[in-house]
Chain A
Amino acid sequence: MENIITLAHGSGGSATLRLIDQVFKKHFNNDILSMGDDCARLNIGNAKNIVFTTDSFVVTPIFFKGGNIGKLAVCGTVNDIATSGATPLYLSCGFIIEEGFSIDELEEIVESMSNTARECGVQIVTGDTKVVQKGAADKIFINTSGIGIVPDGINISGRNAKVGDKIIISGTIGDHGSCILLERENMGLQAKIKSDCAPLSSLVQDMLKITSEIHVLRDPTRGGVATTLNEIAAQSKVTILIHEDKLPVKLEVQGVCELLGMDPLYMANEGKLLCFVPAEKADVILNTIRGNKYGENAQIIGEVVKAGEPKVLLHALSGGIRIINLLAGDQLPRIC
């Protein structure tokens, strides 16, 4: 079979990681890229600690309960910057729009982006628009890139997880993934699930006011908490243990996942963050997160137990231990 791109390469799992290694990193490689975090850390002249990131958004449907592709595009890039410890400052946005797309819908998306940007104090300072023929894009694709500045003394990276660190999730998992799945596929299921799409910069600022000793921050988007924990385990070369009874999952999300045979650990989140903090700081950070409107349901879900072997383990409800692995492609619903 020819070596071609399939949908598995876009799911954020092991196929995606291999593609990045075998094609992108092979040709683009440099010290900055090989750090492996969501943002690149740059020093330009006298300006130190600049972070720079980019993300593209192709979600279907483009309007969903809790948001739309525009809000997602702003939150996604703002959150990547915020989870590097930086204050997000400026965004660019590029639009690829399919011929025939409604200008009213475009305006609704753009207005939503403007509102979200205003909430986080970022400015959209440059952009681009392309229109392609019918069929060459699925309604609208958006790319956003962003820059921010990391304050002195803050060193947050996926490589910094330490044995003994406690792991906190800022709220319920799987909301966005379940919402999109239900809205995209006509399954005849009705559930009060909405996307958790939200900007997390204010939450991160609240946390940094309390302590600078935050080792890792990341937003568990595509591929869910399971994928993000595996990435961090690989970057930091540590074994992570998660406790199943501590994972916060909305009842409706659990219900949908049970019915379809999906696992909330692998469902996307667009308004949550994972943080790794020293054990002695865990309670105070947890309370700080819970004090922010986007962190009400935060929980300590696990800890880093060993250095050396990158692994993510689950302490299951039964008391047994099993692996949380990377998926090869997308999660697929059950047959029987």
Chain B
Amino acid sequence: MTNYIDEFRDKVVMQKIVERLCTYSGRNIKIMEVCGTHTMAISRLGLRSLLPKSIELLSGPGCPVCVTPTSYIDSATELADNKDIIVTTFGDMMRIPGNESTLLYKKAKGCNVQMVYSPLNAVDLARENPNKEVVFLSVGFETTTPVIALSVYKAKSEGIKNYSVLTANKTMPEAIKTLAGDEELAIDGFIYPGHVCAIIGTDFFSYLSYNMEKAGVVAGFEPLDILYSINTLVKNITEDNYILENMYSRIVKKEGNIKAQQKVFEIFEPNDAVWRGIGMIPNSGMGLRDEYEKFDAAKKFNIKLKVSPEPKGCLCGEVLKGKKRPSDCKLFKTRCTPENPVGACMVSSEGTCAAYYKYGDGQIS
């Protein structure tokens, strides 16, 4: 019986594909993966150390925590200072540095900050603590937004009034389109995020492939998913085949997950969003619709997101766009380490700098 793990980790098949990729003798090509989980998986596989130098793998802004502006963390830590508020968050956000503090520090000082595995746990907390306000830090891409939408829906239908979300949700398509159009970056092809596509389907990326003449693959996360996808992408790039191929069809359908899309549409609407290091990208964020404003922590607690400059020397912005590697940043591994991160790319578990720090940059013999 297939368990969808062993078959996709067949060492013999993996090594055959790697051998084939190593025979590539065409022009230099640049492939960008735009999902933090892909960045981590490629690093874990040790792929960069195997591929020929002419196939360059770049990491894009696929880490939802990394692209959240510093001022969002400042707002979160301010909320934590309020004794009547329980701040709930995915674990990743705990160590992200704001301008003054981190949530982990606030927790250690006695503020009520709790790590949750799901926003539905945060709704449970709100139910169990009627005298406190529970705020969930709503950060994520299309994969995560549906369950956050569900949490707001649940809270409303149960009449829970002490639950709200501080939104910094983002969507991938416009950001990827911006990167695809960047002539300096000159990306030849994209590895599209498998789980985002599982939710939103593949139409947008098909359109992008055809109209912007960039080959693309929707890839899963097992070693063979990634290797097959890179192999297919290299072939399509060299043949000028500007199409999208769905290589994660066991999970991703052309139309995506309709139920999830409907739930998100019910609760959220698109807005313009600031991506840390990139700037404002129109229609790339998600905010709560007016009828759900009672669950909007920014309105409830009168929070205005400020623009804050990047820390001096921090190259997170360039790294997120794939224009620089972590090793190009003077702070990488010197002042900026996982224990003392200067930028979010280092401390988030999906961050490019964290992947390079943890797994190396592929220059190992």
Contact = CB atoms under 8 A, between A and B. Distances in A.
**Do A and B make up one complex?**
yes
Interface of A: 1-2, 4-8, 14-15, 18, 185-187, 245, 251, 254-255, 258, 261, 263, 313-323, 325, 327-330, 332-336
Contact of A336 (B5, B64, B121): B64
A4 B108 contact: yes
A6 B339 CA distance: 11
Given A1-B100, A318-B15, A321-B49, A336 B143 contact: yes
When A and B form their complex, which 10 residue pairs have the shortest distance between CB atoms, in order from nearest? A320-B46, A328-B338, A332-B91, A336-B143, A322-B46, A323-B360, A316-B46, A320-B50, A322-B359, A6-B108
Given A316-B45, A327-B338, A335-B140, A321 B364 contact: yes
A322 B49 contact: yes
Interface centre among B5, B50, B101, B338, by most A CB within 10 Å? B338
A192 to B, nearest CB: 15
Interface string B103-128: 01101110000010110010000000
A325 B358 contact: yes
Contact of B14 (A318, A327, A330): A318
A334 B46 contact: no
Interface of A is mostly: loop
Interface residues of B, number: 58
A335 B65 contact: yes
Given A7-B104, A317-B45, A318-B47, A323 B364 contact: yes
Nearest to B341: A328
A255 B358 CA distance: 22
A336 B359 contact: no
A322 B362 contact: yes
Contacts of A318: 14-15, 18, 45-47, 50, 223, 227
B339 A14 contact: yes
B195 interface: yes
A181 B118 CA distance: 15
A226 to B, nearest CB: 10
B284 to A, nearest CB: 16
Contacts of A321: 46, 49, 360, 364-365
Contact of A334 (B37, B141, B223): B37
Contact of B95 (A8, A14, A187): A8
28 contacts: A7-B104, A7-B108, A254-B5, A263-B44, A316-B44, A317-B11, A318-B14, A318-B47, A318-B50, A318-B223, A318-B227, A320-B18, A320-B49, A320-B362, A321-B364, A321-B365, A322-B44, A322-B364, A325-B358, A328-B339, A329-B95, A329-B338, A332-B90, A332-B349, A333-B91, A335-B139, A336-B36, A336-B140
A333 B117 contact: yes
A6 B65 CA distance: 21
B133 interface: no
Interface string B66-104: 000000000000000000000000111011000011101
Contacts of B115: 332
Given A329-B104, A334-B350, 17 more contacts: A4-B108, A7-B107, A187-B118, A261-B349, A316-B44, A316-B223, A317-B45, A320-B46, A325-B358, A327-B338, A328-B339, A328-B347, A332-B94, A334-B37, A335-B64, A336-B140, A336-B196
A4 B347 CA distance: 19
Contacts of A6: 104-105, 107-108
Interface of B: 3, 5, 9, 11, 14-15, 18, 36-37, 43-50, 64-65, 90-92, 94-95, 100-102, 104-105, 107-109, 115, 117-118, 121, 139-141, 143-144, 195-196, 223, 227, 337-339, 347, 349-350, 357-360, 362, 364-365
A78 B140 CA distance: 45
Contact of B337 (A8, A320, A328): A328
Contacts of B350: 334-335
Contacts of A336: 36-37, 64, 140-141, 143-144, 195-196
A251 B6 CA distance: 10
B64, B94, B101: which has the most chain A beta carbons within 10 Å? B94
A319 B91 CA distance: 32
Contacts of A186: 121
Contacts of B5: 254-255, 258
Contacts of A328: 95, 337-339, 347
A290 B264 CA distance: 53
Given A6-B104, A187-B117, A336-B195, A319 B15 contact: yes
A194 to B, nearest CB: 21
A330 B347 CA distance: 12
A317 B117 contact: no
Nearest to B40: A261
Contacts of B362: 320, 322
Contacts of B360: 321-323
A332 B95 CA distance: 11
Contacts of B338: 14, 327-329
A258 B227 CA distance: 18
A35 B347 CA distance: 31
Nearest to A260: B117
A316 B50 CA distance: 11
Nearest to A181: B117
A330 B118 CA distance: 18
B223 A317 contact: yes
Contacts of B141: 336
Contacts of A334: 37, 349-350
